[in-house]
Amino acid sequence: MVLTGIRLAATLKVKCFVIPSNFWLICMNDYLPYGRHHLSDDDIQAVVDTLRSGTLTQGPKILEFEQHVAAYVGARYAVAVSSGTTALHLCCVVADIGSSDLVVTSPITFVASANCAAYVGAKATFADIDPGTLNLSPDALRDVLSAQRQAYRHAAVIPVHFAGKACDMDRIDAIAKAFDAIVIEDACHAFGSTYANGKRVGCCDKSLMTVFSFHPVKAIAAGEGGMITTNDEKIYRRLLRLRSHGIHKGDDPLLRKDLAFDGDQPNPWYYEMQELGYNFRITDIQCALALSQFRKLDRFLERRAELAQKYRLALAGHHHIRVAQPNGPGESANHLFPIRVDFDAIGMTRRALMQHLKENHVGSQVHYLPVYLHPYYAAQGFSKADYPHAEGYYAQALSIPLYFDLTDAQQEHVIKTLGQFA
């Protein structure tokens, strides 16, 4: 039973009881993280049903999930794997990116967008962001490829749809073609996003492959999990092999026919490893959860869009805090809600502001430390001067709570807490 402030005061025999604006947040210990997954009874039941089915991995739920995703984004094929990171890694492998090659990505991203190049021995480098979209700048990409492309055998571009906002894929595709570079879209933030032309991110109209993530704070959760979409059948078949040790027991042609057949009849026990692969498989348990979540995707996206719009309206009049990624062509999945804070103007460091928010039960995070500042990449000689827009954004970056279960009252509390620094 919930007591009103007056009844609670009477119960506690307090003569004067003043209710603070965040009283119920404090009483319920309702800390608001920057992101959170949503689970309901049907999600739990879907996992339980799979646990009881007798098939925990390499079963029907994986193919079902792949088919749903491919149909949703408008791609011919989809291959589910263990994470967004392993998906990026596999993309580099099947694209034959190696030690003589260059991979260009955004510096404002999680390290996996660059690490996938390092995994295959390629040179990872960065092109600055567009300060308006926070995505890879096509102009900066052209400059990097002009300066470096000739020194490498092959090149790849990995544009990141930051926070769910789609990159300018028309320009990126045109530039990549001009420099004979392939395009692999990092859409780990962007499941459900659309391009300016209305097509869904992941259709691969302007790329060889697209990668999604189903980490718990993403649009839908599988616990962990990733997906690669493509329209290239050869790429698809190789992805199937490589995610499972280089072995595919489907309809791939067998190479050792002397071992595979007894006369003209196939040996039922036979399988073969055709190339060096990986154990990047996802499980039926994870895909059962992802399928259940997928059925709610439209609701998830609608609520995220509603919350994002409320933030935009609320922050429109602020002098020292502004929306980092305004609305534009295409629809964002609104994976994150990044803001830009003029910390000098408010007389507070980012650490101090984050601590203040935390004390008021509001979580925040920085997305991201520019990749070239991490020790592994800093040791390779990258210069901050080459990325003025990434540096400018990072100096002011903060992400505030945005997720399906964030209530209107909770969002108002976030807005009011930030409003102290307007």
Number of domains in the chain: 2
Phi-psi region of 332 (alpha: psi -120 to 50; beta: other; left: phi over 0): beta
- Is 256 in the same domain as 320? no
Q: What range does the domain containing 210 cover?
A: 41-294
- Is 51 in the same domain as 100? yes
**Domain finish residue from 270, 294, 318:** 294
- Is 358 in the same domain as 214? no
Pick the closest to residue 218 from 161, 133, 280, 136 (CA basis): 161
- Is 100 in the same domain as 20? no
- Is 168 in the same domain as 306? no
- Is 14 in the same domain as 92? no
- Is 229 in the same domain as 305? no
- Is 145 in the same domain as 232? yes
**Domain finish residue from 294, 319, 345:** 294
- Is 209 in the same domain as 350? no
- Global pTM value: 0.92
- Is 283 in the same domain as 302? no
> Half-sphere exposure of residue 337, counting CA atoms within 13 Å on the CB side?
28
**Which CATH number fits the domain that encloses residue 307?**
3.90.1150.10
The secondary structure of the chain, three-state, reads CCCCHHHHHHHCCCCCCCCCCCHHHHHCCCCECCCCCCCCHHHHHHHHHHHHHCCCECCHHHHHHHHHHHHHHCCCEEEEECCHHHHHHHHHHHCCCCCCCEEEECCCCCCHHHHHHHHCCCEEEECCECCCCCCECHHHHHHHHHHHHHHCCCEEEECECHHHCCCCHHHHHHHHHHCCEEEEEECCCCCCCECCCCCECCCCCCCCEEEEECCCCCCCCCCCCEEEEECCHHHHHHHHHHCECCECCCCCCCCCHHHHEECCEECCCCCCECCCCCECCCEHHHHHHHHHHHCCHHHHHHHHHHHHHHHHHHHCCCCCEEECCCCCCCCCCCCCEEEEECHHHHCCCHHHHHHHHHHCCECCECCCCCHHHCHHHHCCCCCHHHCHHHHHHHHHEEEECCCCCCCHHHHHHHHHHHHCCC
**Domain finish residue from 294, 309, 329:** 294
- Is 364 in the same domain as 279? no
- Is 154 in the same domain as 79? yes
**Which CATH number fits the domain that encloses residue 144?**
3.40.640.10
Q: C-alpha dihedral over 186, 190, 191, 195, to 10 degrees?
A: -100
Could you list the pLDDT tens digit for every one of the 422 residues in the chain? 333 443 434 433 443 334 444 444 444 458 999 999 999 999 999 999 999 998 998 899 999 999 999 999 999 999 999 999 999 999 999 999 999 999 999 999 999 999 999 999 999 999 999 999 999 999 999 999 999 999 999 999 999 999 999 999 999 999 999 999 999 999 999 999 999 999 999 999 999 999 999 999 999 999 999 999 999 999 999 999 999 999 988 778 899 999 999 999 999 999 999 999 999 999 999 999 999 999 999 999 999 999 999 999 999 989 999 999 988 788 999 999 999 999 999 999 999 999 999 999 999 999 999 999 999 999 999 999 999 999 999 999 999 999 999 999 999 999 999 999 87
